[in-house]
Chains A and B, each alone.
Chain A
């Protein structure tokens, strides 16, 4: 009898496992859209590795200074391939889901999206950036600055000129009242490590204490919300730990979530403001 029971249990486990994997397979299959990288907190995200480290840093520094001053966020993203998706559709999704822009009300974000293998460039302008960066202007920037430079393989020159042009157009449109969102860049990585270590020790301490307590004390809903419970869900609690972005003081080697180890990210900025996009901008090929 007991062996029957355990057999049944085993079968049930196998079955649910099977269905679960089928389900996962199916959902993966249905989702034909290219997966987007998560926001890295940087304004320059060279996932395709088109720029050198110092170029990324220079570009990032320029864009961060501009964003601090005007709140207008200009983001550069390079990727290897669109994986068959339309350049407009994908870059629109990316810009919107990252929420590029100083705030939702201003929606003053600009995304310069470059895909290396498809040789396509796309400028996406947020609702609030359409005023200074019109579609016609976006096209001119692409046609006159990016395409000629890219044709000669001068990626940095093209991106640098284009971002400067966008910055000039947007000057005076917005000002930043909120101040920078992050503190100085140098100490950030160290601080983060300290915080993480501290948090780890803290949680472990509480965890141990409560484990001893748990047997005789009903602690209601309190512990369910606690962070240490996430340890059970496959280490979900520290998923952010090995992700890119906290490495070398503002411009560390950042991992690209879609293309493997691509290039660098630079221009440490923090969070995007949740800007909204309406499809403005222009595109081009080189």
Chain B
């Protein structure tokens, strides 16, 4: 009699502990997921900022006679391709992220080429508006880098927390899975390098 009571009490106690633990890990996963989404939106707005700069940049450069048309159309095309991509922040798959990254690095590469060619145009390099755009572009590239790093940090934190022991069980039950990250600066060597002398 008293023995079965003890068993019941122990089971009930364990169930309570499990329930409590489950609730708290569910909440912490949800909050961390929110952080990841927030970090993602910042990544996107940094890339958006770059996209917004491109029309102005192209417009300014266009004015300079016989500027390589092909380079300009390449940039515009790459931008169009990148902006056509939309990713659902609550469900970023590794494939999507890879695609996104490829599209954006297409922009980086064409922009890099454009900036390299502008070195041959001393008039352009003396143009105040061009210089401002150039520095905005540089700042934007830095912002992209910062936000990407932060996104990766946030995702790492999330992944770590759902991977460790008691949490991984709950994560499985609640359907939280590992999230994708940016690959370590693939193609960063092609990012526009902006030099001032």
Contacting residues of chain A (259-277) with chain B, CB-CB under 8 angstroms: 277
Q: Is the CB of B143 within 8 A of A280?
A: yes
Task: Say how far A122's CB is from chain B's closest CB, in angstroms.
Answer: 10
The 8 Å CB contact of A279, one of B131, B132, B146, B196, is B146
Report which of A88, A136, A285 forms a contact with B135, defined as CB distance below 8 A: A136
Segment 146-197 of B: residues with Cβ below 8 Å from A: 146-147, 196-197
Q: How far is the CA of A92 from the CA of B141 in the complex (A)?
A: 14
- How many residue pairs bridge A and B at CB < 8 Å? 48
Most central of A92, A138, A281, A282 by chain B CB within 10 Å: A282
Known: A139-B196, A143-B196. Is A282-B135 also a contact (CB below 8 A)?
A: yes
Q: How far is the CA of A104 from the CA of B42 in the complex (A)?
A: 17
B131, B143, B146: the one contacting A139 at CB < 8 Å is: B131
Contacts A143-B196, A285-B196: A88 and B132 contacting too (C-beta < 8 A)? no
B 108-150 contacts with A by CB, 8 A? 131-133, 135-136, 138-140, 142-147
Judging by beta carbons under 8 Å apart, are B145 and A279 in contact?
A: yes
Are B142 and A88 in contact (CB-based, < 8 A)? yes
Contact A135 B136 (CB under 8 A): yes
Q: Are A138 and B135 touching (Cβ within 8 A)?
A: yes
What interface size band does chain B fall in? 10 to 19
Residue of B whose beta carbon sits closest to that of A96: B146
Q: Which residues of A contact B135 (CB under 8 A)?
A: 135-136, 138-139, 282
A residues in contact with B143, CB < 8 Å: 278-280
Option from A135, A140, A143, A285 in Cβ contact (under 8 Å) with B139: A135
Q: How far apart are B44's CB and chain A's nearest CB, in angstroms?
A: 14
The answer to whether A135 and B138 touch across the interface, beta carbons within 8 angstroms, is yes
Q: A135-B136, A135-B138, A143-B196 are in contact. Are A278 and B147 (CB under 8 A)?
A: yes
- The listed residue with most A CB atoms (<10 A of its CB), out of B135, B145, B147, is B135
Given contacts A139-B131, A139-B196, A143-B196, A134 and B146 within 8 Å (CB-CB)? no
Contacts of B133 in A (CB 8 A): 136
Q: Cβ of A249 < 8 Å from any Cβ of B?
A: no
Residues of chain B with a CB closer than 8 A to A134's CB: 136, 139
Alpha-carbon distance A94/B191, docked complex (angstroms): 24
CA distance A278 to B140 in the complex (A): 10
Is A139's CB under 8 angstroms from B142's CB?
no
User: What's the minimum C-beta distance from A217 to chain B, rounded to whole angstroms?
Assistant: 35
A135-B138, A138-B139, A139-B196 known; 13 other A-B pairs, CB under 8 Å? Answer: A135-B136, A136-B131, A139-B131, A139-B132, A139-B135, A140-B132, A143-B196, A278-B42, A279-B142, A279-B144, A281-B139, A282-B138, A284-B196
Q: Which residues on B are within 8 Å of A, measured CB to CB? A: 42, 46, 131-133, 135-136, 138-140, 142-147, 196-197
Q: List 30 A-B contacts (CB under 8 A).
A: A92-B142, A134-B139, A135-B138, A135-B139, A136-B132, A136-B133, A136-B135, A136-B136, A138-B135, A139-B131, A139-B196, A140-B132, A277-B146, A278-B46, A278-B143, A279-B139, A279-B142, A279-B143, A279-B144, A279-B145, A279-B147, A280-B139, A280-B143, A281-B139, A281-B142, A282-B135, A282-B138, A282-B139, A285-B196, A285-B197
